[in-house]
């Protein structure tokens, strides 16, 4: 009897020691890759483009508020289907790739929206991410709703938001913004990666 009590006590002690480790498990880092799609709608022209996206996210499914991440989009990877327009986009009058080669988003505050939903091996959650969005050398706060999904060691996220070109001092050449290029740009980001062990 006393032996079984001892075993129970030992198991309880082990459980107690292990419990804090699960609660405060440090977030796992995930390198993400994917694509960004952007859409400009102006009275004279509708432009659809893509760019490569990459990022690093520190992710702990037990504590979504601790999510931290940075997403980088190289300006040179932006494509709109017309070589001359792409070189204009990268030029000094527009995004000025030589001076500002990257578009970045760095998360600051993450608030979970609702509960984590688990269906079979796939779990998903929505979070509101507040962070700093940097374009054309101008950094502004940006809030976006991000959908996270994870399965085993795989993680993917998607989000979409709008940016106003004037907020980032992107004036273009002539009076193009507002007529041929939309004043606001719709941005969709899809990234995925593997969480490091």
Partner 1 sequence: MKAIRAICLLGVIGLGVFWYTEGMHLATLEEKLVETTKVDDFGDEVTEKSWVKVNEIGLDYLGPAAGLLFGIAVVITIKLRRRS
**Interaction between residue 175 and partner 1 (CB under 8 A):** no
The residue count for binding partner 1 (CB under 8 A) is 20
Helix (H) or strand (E) holding 63: none
Q: Does residue 148 touch partner 1 according to CB under 8 A? A: no
Q: Residues 172-179: contacts with CB within 8 Å, 24+ apart?
A: 172/93, 172/94, 173/88, 173/93, 173/94, 178/42, 179/42, 179/43, 179/44
| DSSP secondary structure letters along 31-61 | EEEEEEEEEEE-SS-EEEEEEEEEEEEEE-T
Please, what is the minimum distance in Å from the beta carbon of residue 69 to partner 1? 19
What is the spatial distance between Cα 119 and Cα 44, in angstroms, rounded to a whole number?
45
Q: Per CB under 8 A, which region of 7-15, 20-28, 110-118, 149-157 contacts partner 1?
A: 149-157
Determine if 122 is a binding residue for partner 1 (CB under 8 A): yes
CB of 146 to partner 1, least distance (A): 15
Q: Is 180 in the site for partner 1 (CB under 8 A)?
A: yes
Q: C-beta of 50: minimal distance to partner 1 in Å?
A: 6
Touching partner 1, residues 21-80 (CB under 8 A)? 35, 37, 44-45, 48-50, 79
String of contacts with partner 1 for each residue 81-120, x by CB under 8 A: xxxxx-----------------------------------
The alpha carbon dihedral of 34, 74, 105, 184 has a sign of negative
Least distance to partner 1, CB of residue 105, Å:
20
In whole angstroms, give the CA distance from residue 67 to residue 113: 13
Helix then strand then coil, in percent of the chain rounded to 5, is 20, 55, 25
Tell me the two tokens of residue 160: 């979409």
Which residues contribute to the site for partner 1 (CB under 8 A)?
35, 37, 44-45, 48-50, 79, 81-85, 122, 149, 151, 154, 156, 180, 190
């Amino acid at each position: 009897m006393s032996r079984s009590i001892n075993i129970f006590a030992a198991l309880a002690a082990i459980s107690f020691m292990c419990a804090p480790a699960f609660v405060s498990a440090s977030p796992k880092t995930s390198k993400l890759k994917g694509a960004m799609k952007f859409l400009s709608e102006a009275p004279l022209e509708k432009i659809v483009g893509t760019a490569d996206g990459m990022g690093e996210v520190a992710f702990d499914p037990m504590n979504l508020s601790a999510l931290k991440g940075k997403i980088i989009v190289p300006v040179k990877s932006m494509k709109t289907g017309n070589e001359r327009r792409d070189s204009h986009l990268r030029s000094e009058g527009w995004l000025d790739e030589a001076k500002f080669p990257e578009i970045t988003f760095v998360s600051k505050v993450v608030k979970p929206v609702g509960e984590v939903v688990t269906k079979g091996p796939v779990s998903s959650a929505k979070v509101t991410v507040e962070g700093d969005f940097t374009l054309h050398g101008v950094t502004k706060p940006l809030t976006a709703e991000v959908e996270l999904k994870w399965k085993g060691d795989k993680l993917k996220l998607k989000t979409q938001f709008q940016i106003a070109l004037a907020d980032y001092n992107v004036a273009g050449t002539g009076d193009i913004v507002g007529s041929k290029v939309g004043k606001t740009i719709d941005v969709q980001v899809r990234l995925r990666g593997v969480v490091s062990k």
